[in-house]
Structure 1
């Protein structure tokens, strides 16, 4: 299975020159914990809700005038749209991040989250358990212990 089968596209993005407050509002509107920072379709970084708190709010920076570029994480770990899901698992394990921007060459095309992988695993289990559950419902339960005579 390819990353393109599981990724979210298009990703939620903001420009590097956007204010931190603008990015926070965008996260709130989209119900996401991070945004990808992109310019002309090229990934520049990632901004998480934690970046906003730790690098801007706690540091006392004004969120109205501080730009995303000032507090974002630059040089994010990425995966290619044609990579296998196994490559994503390896990237998540190596990096310790919860979100991976998905690129096609240098062009940003999506985002893959740990939650996307969890949902895929759960769906696979459900697909496996469905037939097993159905066959169990149609067959009488097997006796596990011999009957006790009274």
Structure 2
């Protein structure tokens, strides 16, 4: 599991980027993961970035606006051939400052198969059911995975 101590999430609303051209890695100086949540509404897009590891220590003391500026600098470096507009809204979670959140999510270790997701999803004698992103092999580490697993388990319960 990854902890809040070394993970931070940022949401940038409406950067108009073509998702097909999104690079899968950022420059070494800025270790981030970016996920395009395109077309949340008809005219808006949302981009989520996860800052992890040593990079969190580098941004922990920054103001939200400074974190935004660093994220935008990374996007503009990745998309040099495009005009990258400033977001209309942004939000920095600061998981590491909340002692109750812990910001943990599942992951498959190097060499792992993902079978653990299926094992965690197994019901117990038709009376105990498990949902959450860690029980969804196809969408782990995501709200989508958590939601779909909840729908999956609710369907099982409704069938009884």
Which protein shows a greater Rg?
A: 1
TM-score normalised according to structure 2 size? 0.27
